[in-house]
Chains A and B, each alone.
Chain A
């Protein structure tokens, strides 16, 4: 079992846009060998193997068996980055170290490998094809930058567009602090500060696409002069990072920016990717997100029992990232969503109308702007 050469790892590198992984169990078994084999696994998982009350090498034979894993997500707050490198990756290039926003406590850290980053972006680009690739239009990114994944995603988005990238920096952790301290006045001033900077770029630059967060999109929609600018220049609006309620979404699409595609992404550092909003509108009008299957999959469960809720019911989202680059299984996220059938051949659930839970693990959840 310990001889890495004895394994055929090729299934772990399948590009699902070219070739569907139909036998997901046949994917999971080598994945376990990879992460828990001494020559391929990361120090993080090798160290924890003996502390698990099951043996992932023999007990995890299917996607369902991944539910055996305890939720170790809190350990990603303290672990050193070096410990997260699977040995089997050799000296594969690390694109960035990304951090969570710290919504449920101190931030968690994850490694983004260059190979995985480009594979997932290629999938997302095809999944939500804008028709703008290579057109040379400029992107305005009013999103967090810094340790957050979206900042680097927008760098690569603008490369794909072939234009320039304009940015406004958003600090979501400071926003959460302001909310927790009850400083609604300062929060309002900060958001206005962000909108003012956005306004300046919109008024002076040739912006063809906007990547932003719901609160800023709503604030732009409240300023008639900005609405006019967006209508006259912008060909596509992408949003993510926080909840957008279905009514706001409908008003933006139908009344404020009719004719401009408004496309959501539901990302998380704990899945090292963004689930993309499905093109086909559900009869309910809710935004539905599909993750990059089989590498990333969701389950929507009753948090009390851990069992799946019925399709169409709201439950809490369990996230899984299962690639050769990282193993982050069975993580009960802060968010709730309406459970929706996954696309054909995909594992797990699609999620609709994502919204934050009010408390998480005993602490109040501050969603903030991201």
Chain B
């Protein structure tokens, strides 16, 4: 937290659609980690949602080039303009105070969102299938060609609130010609609110909506939309597994692997940054590190990493949580870590203000690379270490959003590339949190939203 907020202003997050704004009579409180109520998030009823989607489905689809122009304009507004009566500094203060996200991380996320929006012309040019056209007047259609077509008109987004960065993905749907409705999280509704405002002011008022709802109405968005993007835990992933219209962004269970043909001592900084970067809260943060060698090697690595993480934590702002949440997480760690051995401080919770706490990094060694605890992902720097042997195969690395393989073994890296349950593979000394516009994060979103149609004219 930088400067304390001097105004006692009550903050409202209300619904926004092409028809205007709506402050619902039903709302849930917006609170700081210590429980202080600073505002309210409207909870619109099902009927409001269905009416909003009826409007979105009628929104005109602007020409491709025009959409990209408007999104670039929105990027400038998002990054610089006074929106919702707030400068970007005021907005960042609100995000960091409310969600407990360090201001530096929030600021970096905002820059990343704006950069992603500006890069859309190049990104989409890479994403589009090589043979496809985007315009009915394209001369290639005379000989017949693929046309890049939307699978629907509307996209619903159930956002999460761990960092503003989750909102860098869905705006590309606007570039693809979708109309988009976002249900913000109550922990951090300010980024989607600011983005929706920026898109409106840029000229996409009819194509975008903010629909805050209670849990009982949340499914109405998915039911009404043609496609959906949903963030959540394993339960959410399981709930929508059979629904092809829903793309889930679940736990990342991202992992780092160090084989014995490299010296792990040279990569401690990279691995510490993978574990604790972005506050340790992102799905790309490393959850488990597999170290090739015996138990003693894993233990030596863990001791060194714990030391490096303590230094990292001292230099970087950490995610602040309600004290009660922090204590629950600490208890949870104690329960699930029964069969592991620990490094680092015994007391995990550090109270930074009354009612507000941070969690100290957790480094624990599991007996082997197949221990289920390696899949436990928590929203703070918490990493499980296990000894590994390349002869065991890539099984322990399956089911990961990102695998960073610090190895010289190209053949092993190829096996990771060939494994369908691993989304991203970074070979060499890269953090698992590495990202770049144009490089897919969990596939391209356009794979979910678009298809190709054969056309000749």
Contacts and interface: CB of A to CB of B under 8 A. Distances in A.
A251 B48 contact: yes
B25 A251 contact: no
Contact of B45 (A251, A256, A285): A251
B149 to A, nearest CB: 26
Given A245-B45, A247-B45, A248-B45, A222 B50 contact: yes
B46 A218 contact: yes
B180 to A, nearest CB: 20
B51 A246 contact: no
A224 B57 CA distance: 14
B82 interface: no
A8 interface: no
A247 B213 CA distance: 12
A326 to B, nearest CB: 36
A247 B54 contact: no
A247 B27 CA distance: 11
A247 B25 contact: yes
Interface in B7-58: 24-26, 43-48, 50-51, 54
A221 B54 CA distance: 12
Nearest to A224: B54
B26 A251 contact: no
Main secondary structure of the interface of A (DSSP, over half): helix
Contact of B47 (A224, A248, A284, A286): A248
A245 B45 CA distance: 8
Interface in B361-383: none
Contacts of B25: 245-247, 250, 284-286
B330 to A, nearest CB: 30
Contacts of B51: 221-222, 251, 255
Interface string A274-310: 0000000000111000000000000000000000000
A247 B50 contact: no
A231 to B, nearest CB: 15
Contacts of A245: 25-26, 45
A222 B47 contact: yes
A221 B47 CA distance: 8
Interface residues of A, number: 16
Interface string A211-251: 00000001001101000000000000000000001111011
A248 B46 contact: yes
Interface in B271-316: none
A358 to B, nearest CB: 11
A251 B54 contact: no
A246 B45 CA distance: 9
A97 interface: no
A286 B26 CA distance: 11
Nearest to B24: A247
B385 to A, nearest CB: 41
A321 B47 CA distance: 35
A221 B49 CA distance: 12
A110 to B, nearest CB: 32
A252 B47 contact: yes
Interface in B323-360: none
Contacts of A256: 47
Interface string A250-265: 1110011000000000
Nearest to B46: A218
A251 B54 CA distance: 15
A179 to B, nearest CB: 12
Contacts of B44: 247
12 contacts: A222-B47, A222-B50, A245-B25, A245-B45, A246-B26, A247-B24, A247-B25, A247-B45, A247-B47, A251-B51, A255-B51, A286-B25
Interface of A: 218, 221-222, 224, 245-248, 250-252, 255-256, 284-286
Given A222-B54, A246-B25, A247-B47, 20 more contacts: A218-B46, A218-B47, A221-B47, A221-B51, A222-B47, A222-B51, A224-B54, A245-B26, A246-B26, A247-B24, A247-B45, A247-B48, A250-B25, A251-B45, A251-B47, A251-B48, A252-B47, A256-B47, A284-B25, A286-B25
Q: Which 3 A-B pairs have the closest CB atoms?
A: A246-B25, A248-B45, A247-B45
